[in-house]
């Protein structure tokens, strides 16, 4: 696992396939603030709740100047189905080999029911318009995280 990112770090570049069949890169957001959130698996209860929270907060985030992109190890077809089912209008990216999650320190050791394994750590990184990390949050909760992030970023309802 990579060392966790901290504010001021240069955000690792990425270019990944998206749910729409194209490719999305960090450089596509140059000149904009972007919320990059990592989630374990599309269409699971927690990840659905988190994605819908981002969807429902998208207008306030974008009006405050933030773009949103979600990244998971799911294949593109699963992401496309998830986006359609939940009416998600922000990019969902497929990181099947978890190279980007690893670069962002969002891949590592997890524990569940006493077992230790490697997996995706639910994380949110806010990258500023200059490509620097503005906020780095790891082990975030699926429920309530978007509201907390909005408070941290001082974004009104």
In a domain, 7, yes or no: no
Between 117 and 69, whose confidence is greater? 69
Residue 13 pLDDT exceeds 90: yes
The dihedrals phi and psi of 96, each to the nearest 5 degrees, come to -60, -35
In a domain, 10, yes or no: no
pLDDT (0 to 100) of residue 113: 86
Give, to the nearest 10 degrees, the angle between helix 45-63 and helix 76-86.
Answer: 70
In a domain, 147, yes or no: yes
In a domain, 44, yes or no: yes
47 is catalytic: yes
Q: Look at the block and give the residue holding tokens 């980007």.
A: 100
Report CA torsion sign: 114, 120, 126, 131.
positive
pLDDT category of residue 157 using cuts at 50, 70 and 90: low
Q: Which domain holds residue 58?
A: 15-152
In a domain, 9, yes or no: no
pTM of the full predicted structure? 0.95
CATH classification of the domain holding 96: 3.40.30.10
Identified catalytic residue from 26, 47, 61, 136? 47
Q: Based on the structure, what is the number of domains in the chain? A: 1
Q: Look at the block and give the residue holding tokens 């949110």.
A: 124
In a domain, 24, yes or no: yes
In a domain, 3, yes or no: no
Per DSSP, the chain holds a count of helices (H) and strands (E) of 4, 9
pLDDT category of residue 22 using cuts at 50, 70 and 90: very high
In a domain, 19, yes or no: yes
Instruction: Provide the token pair at 25.
Output: 């890169």
Q: What angle do CA 142, 106, 8 make, to 5 degrees?
A: 105
């Amino acid at each position: 696992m990579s060392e966790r990112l901290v504010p001021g770090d240069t955000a690792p570049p990425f270019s990944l396939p998206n749910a729409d069949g194209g490719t999305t890169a960090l450089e596509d957001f140059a000149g904009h603030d972007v919320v990059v959130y990592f989630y374990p698996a599309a269409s699971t209860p927690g990840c659905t709740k988190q994605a819908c929270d981002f969807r429902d907060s998208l207008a306030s985030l974008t009006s405050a100047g933030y773009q949103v992109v979600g990244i998971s190890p799911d294949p593109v077809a699963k992401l496309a189905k998830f986006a359609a089912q939940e009416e998600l209008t922000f990019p969902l990216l497929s990181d099947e080999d978890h190279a980007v999650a690893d670069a962002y320190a969002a891949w590592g050791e997890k524990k569940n029911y006493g077992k230790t394994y490697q997996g995706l750590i639910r994380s949110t990184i806010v990258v500023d318009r200059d490509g620097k990390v503005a906020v780095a949050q790891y082990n975030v909760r699926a429920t309530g995280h978007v509201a907390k992030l909005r408070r941290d970023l001082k974004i009104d309802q």
